[in-house]
Structures are given as C-alpha cells and as structure tokens.
Structure 1
Amino acid sequence: MGDPVHLVHGMGTGLEAPSWPAIAHDEAQAVLAMFPEAGRLETLDWHSPRPFSSAALAQTDRGALFLKRHHRRLRSVAGLAGEHAFIAHLRARGVPVVDVLATRDGASAFAGGDWVWEVHRKAQGLDLYRDRQSWTPFLSLDHAHAAGAALARLHLAAQGFVAPARPALPLVTSLSILTAADPLAAAEDYVAARAGLADYLSGRDWRHELAALFDGFAVDRLAEDLAREPGLWTHNDWHPSNLLWTEAGDVASVLDFGLSDRTCALHDLATALERCAVRWLDLTPDRQDVAEPDAARALLAGYHAVRPLSVEDRALLARLLPLVHVEFAMSEADYFHGVLARKGDADLAWDSYLFGHAHWFLTAPGRDLLDVVARG
C-alpha cells in the first residue's frame, strides 16, 4: 500500500488536492542542513492541511521542528524577516510564540529555487484543533474566554513594535481602506497595487459594488473613528487552530503570524470574532442562524478582563465587524486569480466572502450578534 494521499482544507467543508505539494523527505533534509541548530532529519511525522503553504512536523536528532515552505510569489526572505521580528518582540515580552531558527548566515528564512523556507522549534501545547477548519467555533466557552485574554495580552506586548506596515503582498490582512478619508479611492489604490486582483476585477463594475457596500455600512463615518485608533502590529488570524492549549484549557502557544501586519487592536479583535463567532461554513440561503453569541460574549469577556473595553470601544467594534474582512477577502481574490489562476475560488472570495459575509450582518441573526458585541 502506498503513502496516504495528502489533502488540504478547501474553501468549503471538504478536503481537496493541495495547491502546493507536500514537503518531501529529501528536500526537508537539504533545507535543515542550512539551519545549524536543526540537527539531522529522522522522520516527517505530519503534513499540515492548511492550504496556503506547505508545512510539516519533523523529528530530528535534536528534537521536533516545524518546517514551513512558501512559494516565492507569496513570501520572500525579507518579508518573513519582518514577520519574525514581530514574533521576537512578542517572545521577549512573555507571549508564548514559536522559536524561529536561524540559518548559517543569521537569516530567519532560506530561499532556494521557487521556495522560501522557515523553521521553528515545535511549539508547546496540545493541538486540539489540528484538523478543524479555520472558520469553526471553539470547543468550549472556556476556550473562547482564554483566547480572548491571550489576544489582549498579545496586544499589550505588541506595543512598542514600531515597524511600518508590510508592502503589498498576497494573503496579508491589512488596514488601509477602512481608515482612509476616501475609502473607495483607497480601494482603488489597493487594487492598482495588485496586478492579479486588477486583472480579476477588470471585467466587472467593482467600484459600484464596493461603493454600495460602503454606503450601506456608513464607511465614511466608520473610517473617521477607526483612523483615530492607535496603530499596532497584530496577529490577524486569531482562530482556535492557531492556538495550542494546556490541559487546563489555557492558551499554551500562539501560532502562525503569516497574516500579521500593522492594523489596530480593535481590528484584530473584530477579526477574531469574525473567525470564531459565526459558523460561516454552515451558511446557506436557507440557513442564516449561524452565529455563536455565547462564544462572542466569552471571547470579549476574556479580552476585557486583561485589556478593558470602553462603551465606545464596543460600539466601534460592532460597526467594524461586518467589514473587517474586506481587505483579506480582496487579498484572497488576488491570490486565487493572480497566483493560482483559479477564477472559481476568486469568485468565492469576492462574492461569497467579501459581500456575502458583510450582507449576513444585515439579517436578524447578524444584527443580533452585532448587538451582543456592542452591548454584551
């Protein structure tokens, strides 16, 4: 019997063939030789089902490591260096993040051929959500509360990291449109900086689509208030499977800063709610009641216990939540069309994710969740 076929999470609930091939033993061995602290490869024990890169757990004669391989169109050594600098800043301030290994040249990543590699020591904790999709809820309200508290601690620790926002990259959660004096003009700039996205949108009246969405959610007023929030480097992908856990249900490690960028704390908190408090994968035209209001309450209570939220914070958070995903949805459309040439998935990112998720907040369950966020 041959090796099992490696599958990854798709845009829906099922598994599908990966866009990027699984890491092979010989290439892992060659890459680990570039990292003096890595040791000699013994086995590759597990391949991640996350779809945007290839990753695996490796056992070496010096311990367990996590290898992650990106295509050069998605990440560069310099781009990962900025991400790793943020991780190092958090680590120095007590946030339980991964330990990134360095190459012989002192770099935190290695480029070879079409690939860019990073290597971490295996993070501490139980991987309770390893096989669950990103947009699925917590297993318990205690986990939601612990995750909220951990996110607040990360935001406190992130203060003082003064790096500028990342340049235009696929698959990064940025904040340039919703804080702009003219959000539609900022969206035009966002599209112009991404050739794949510009090509994808060339055949549709996307400016009219976005203008109608922005008018419906009073984005001009939202942008005025959001622009006053202090800028902060943030995680931007806070969901259960990016956290490892203790036996007692606390957060043991924070994983995957691939979407991190300079946004603000409320944007990151809204992203966490968007990831964890709505069962998006269950949403259909006939099934709109997909909110997890108790999980939202628990996440916000945990956050508030560490980094208190004012009444004004909660109100702004509720206004932001329906649109917090806009730039990442645009980034996904850019990735699927410009990098993978998969128009169907780009359509899902633009139509179902960007617009479909925003419009869900106009339904009764969506409005009820926003009321929970605003008032508890």
Structure 2
Amino acid sequence: MSGVAPHRVHGMGTALEAPTWPAITAAEAEAILALFPDAGRLLGLRWHSPRPFSAATLVQTDTGEFFLKRHHHRLRTPAALAQEHAFMEHLLAAGLPVPEILKARDGTGTITQGAWTYEVHRKGTGIDLYRERQSWTPFLTPAHAFEAGVALARLHRAAQGFNAPPRGPHPLVASFTILPAHDPLASAAHYIAARPALAAFLKDKPWRQELARLFASLGQGLSQRLQDQPPLWTHNDWHPSNLLWSSDGAVATVFDFGLAARSCALHDLATAIERTAIPWLQREDEPADAQAAAALVSGYRTLIPLDATDVETLVHLLPLVHIEFALSEVHYFAGVLADPAQATLAWQDYLIDHADWFLTPPGREFLERFEREVRN
C-alpha cells in the first residue's frame, strides 16, 4: 500500500471531498509541458490545488515553477480561455502583477487533448498564505483586507481600455446582465433560457416567484442605480486565496481570472466584500465582519474615490451581487455534472438563502454597520 493520502478538494461545505476532476499525474504533466517550449523539463509535482472546479498542480521544472491547470471542455474551451488570457495580458502590460501565460508551440495559450483544455502560468511572486483555506473565507487580518482593497483599485485602474465584449454563457463565469436591467426578472428569464440545463433544472421550481420576491424586498431602485455605472472588465472572484502576499503584508500577485468578465467596478467591489466579510460556511459560529468590509473599501479609496452615491449603491448591491454567479453555479452542477443534489444546494443555500440572510436582524445589522463605517 502507498502511504500517500488521496487527493481531496474543497466541497460546498467545510469538509474536504473526493475530487470531481482527477488530479493531474506526473506523466500527464510531463506530456503537456513538452508542448510549451518555455516550460522546461518536469522535475516534479509540488502541490495539487484543492479548488474543486478544475484540476491544477504546481510543477517544478528545470526552468522554474509553473501552475498547470486542466479544464473539462464543457467548462472552458480554448476560445473561452483566450478571453481570460487577453484580459490578463492587458493587465500585465498596464503594470498589474499577474502571472505570465505560457505560449504553446502553436502560439496560443492553450492545449487541447481529448475532453481536456490545458493552460500553463508562470508562478507569481509572493507567499501563498491562504493556499489551503476555503475560497470564500475571511481575511486573516484587517490589514490584509485593506491591502486587498488597494490591489483591487489598482486592477480597476489597469483594466481601463480593455473593451472586449461580454463572455458567452459558459458555466462558472460571472456576468452582469440581470441586476442592471430595467426588468431584472425578464432578464433572469433570458439568462435561464440561454442555458438549457439550467432551465430544465428550474422548470418545476417556483424560480420566478422566488426571484421576484428577492428583487422586491432587496432590489428596490437598484437597477436604476446600476444602469449608469461605466462598464469595466473585472476580476469577479476577489478573495484572499486568489492573492499572493509579500512579507510586509501587501498584495504581490493577483491570479485566478476564471470568473473575469465585463461588469462594473462597484459590482466587483461588492463581490469582494460578499465573499470575504460574511462567513457563509460558518455563519452560526462567526459574525459577519463589517470592519473588515470597511477596511477593504478604505484600501480601495486610497486610489479610487467613492462618493456618497457610490456608497449607497454598494450597500444596496451587496445582498444581490451573487445572483448571476449562483445561477451559473446551478448551471454547472445541473448541466456539466448532472448532479441535482448539488444544483439544489447552489440554488437554495447559496442563491436564495444568502440573499435572505440580509433580511434577517444579523444581515440588516451588518449592512447598517458597514454603511456607518464607510461614511465616517
């Protein structure tokens, strides 16, 4: 028997689970790296990522360390990854520290082998302090929240001038079409109809009534507030485990642009707060942290000002900012994995219950405290 423990990944809760996508093997990595001229010869696999939606490993070669990532083609085609890579290359050219994307022998940033699409990034500089932590968990310190806010503002500055069109209806991609629409419910219906597996899953559920209730109770006036926001390509998955850190606590590298898409700056900032200040996985044990949310905004404001209207919009946006990605997650579980139990968890626990939390006393208190903190 081998003494090596089986690879486990983060699940929808706090427990580690068997991976949906098998870990990349040394033989597989060696064969793929040989197709990227600058990757060098494989010396070993240093670490397997616990992220659940793809397979990824940190590899050591005779030319350095690289991050090798494998996606199922139903999640990411070469064309879909090319959009992410173009955005990353724009940010890198603008001076933002993001990983370099290696080119394959054909000059593209991807390799296709059967059902799989591969990409290789040079390892970014910095310390991976949050490597083993669940993705949507809090910052370790308020100082990290502040520095993450500074880095997010830098990204938004660097993103200026990148005018690519919106991404297609791929699973597990953020988007920004429902909340700014004149009729958010009609826009949600269009979003769902464009994804047949999502539509089939929701067919027997009262999704129209549920979304209408959420829009009425939490979204009054929100679409008007968002319609005038300048469009901007954004990260859309801003949390501490997508950042590498310097020894003095600043952000050294930004990575994982899998959810990057055209939204707006306030949507990206609200997403960052929603994913780091509220302990969704342990809500009964840990209170939401309005001070951490305010620290993130304070860091952001060192580079990009936010006026009173921006603050009001941010507060109104927070309870619903997760809606489109939650639908995308339901699409992934229902369509790609054909797993109705996980799709139900994403629909009910993530989309509905997360929004409803903001109607509870703790949720309302969080919004009120956050607004007070950022207005001071």
Range class of TM-score, shorter chain: over 0.9
**Unmatched 5+ residue regions in structure 1?**
none
Q: What residue is the counterpart of 1:218 in the other structure?
A: 219
Q: What residue is the counterpart of 1:32 in the other structure?
A: 33
Q: What residue is the counterpart of 1:351 in the other structure?
A: 348
The yes-or-no answer on 1:239 pairing with 2:203 is no
Q: Which deviations, in whole Å up to 9, do the C-alpha atoms of 1:248-303 show, x marking residues without a partner?
A: 0000000100001000000000000000000111124xx6x630111111111101
- DSSP-derived class of the 1:187 partner: helix
Contact 1:242 1:256 survives alignment (8 Å): yes
Contact 1:143 1:250 survives alignment (8 Å): yes
Contact 1:127 1:241 survives alignment (8 Å): yes
- DSSP-derived class of the 2:169 partner: coil
Q: What residue is the counterpart of 1:8 in the other structure?
A: 9
Structure 1 residue 366: Cα displacement: 1.2
> One-letter code of the match for 1:275?
R
The yes-or-no answer on 1:266 pairing with 2:263 is no
Q: How far, CA to CA, are the matches of 1:283 and 1:347 in structure 2? A: 20
Q: How far, CA to CA, are the matches of 1:139 and 1:151 in structure 2? A: 17
Aligned residues: 372
- DSSP-derived class of the 1:70 partner: strand
Q: How far, CA to CA, are the matches of 1:61 and 1:102 in structure 2? A: 17
**Unmatched 5+ residue regions in structure 2?**
none
The yes-or-no answer on 1:92 pairing with 2:99 is no
Structure 1 residue 196: Cα displacement: 1.4
Q: Percent identity?
A: 58
Structure 1 residue 113: Cα displacement: 0.3
Contact 1:332 1:346 survives alignment (8 Å): yes
Contact 1:196 1:334 survives alignment (8 Å): yes
Structure 1 residue 218: Cα displacement: 3.2
Q: How far, CA to CA, are the matches of 1:277 and 1:140 in structure 2? A: 11
- DSSP-derived class of the 1:118 partner: strand
Contact 1:151 1:303 survives alignment (8 Å): yes
**1:12-91 correspondence runs (5 A):** 12-91=13-92
- DSSP-derived class of the 2:215 partner: helix
Q: What residue is the counterpart of 2:194 in the other structure?
A: 193
Contact 1:183 1:223 survives alignment (8 Å): yes
**1:120-135 correspondence runs (5 A):** 120-135=121-136
Q: CA RMSD in A?
A: 1.0
Structure 1 residue 365: Cα displacement: 1.9
Contact 2:180 2:227 survives alignment (8 Å): yes
The yes-or-no answer on 1:205 pairing with 2:206 is yes
> One-letter code of the match for 2:218?
F
Q: Which deviations, in whole Å up to 9, do the C-alpha atoms of 1:129-174 show, x marking residues without a partner?
A: 0000012111111100000010011001101000011011100110
Q: 1:305 aligns with which of 299, 302, 306?
A: 302
- DSSP-derived class of the 2:119 partner: strand
> One-letter code of the match for 1:195?
P
Q: How far, CA to CA, are the matches of 1:183 and 1:293 in structure 2? A: 28
Q: What residue is the counterpart of 1:338 in the other structure?
A: 335
Q: How far, CA to CA, are the matches of 1:159 and 1:371 in structure 2? A: 32
**1:170-185 correspondence runs (5 A):** 170-185=171-186
Structure 1 residue 374: Cα displacement: 2.8
Q: How far, CA to CA, are the matches of 1:375 and 1:164 in structure 2? A: 37
Q: How far, CA to CA, are the matches of 1:45 and 1:260 in structure 2? A: 27
> One-letter code of the match for 1:239?
H
Contact 1:232 1:265 survives alignment (8 Å): yes
Contact 2:180 2:223 survives alignment (8 Å): yes
Contact 1:296 1:372 survives alignment (8 Å): no
The yes-or-no answer on 1:374 pairing with 2:371 is yes
> One-letter code of the match for 2:256?
D
Q: How far, CA to CA, are the matches of 2:119 and 2:252 in structure 1? A: 21
Contact 2:136 2:276 survives alignment (8 Å): yes
> One-letter code of the match for 1:146?
E
> One-letter code of the match for 2:265?
A
Q: What residue is the counterpart of 1:230 in the other structure?
A: 230
Contact 2:291 2:370 survives alignment (8 Å): no
Q: How far, CA to CA, are the matches of 1:290 and 1:258 in structure 2? A: 29
- DSSP-derived class of the 1:306 partner: coil
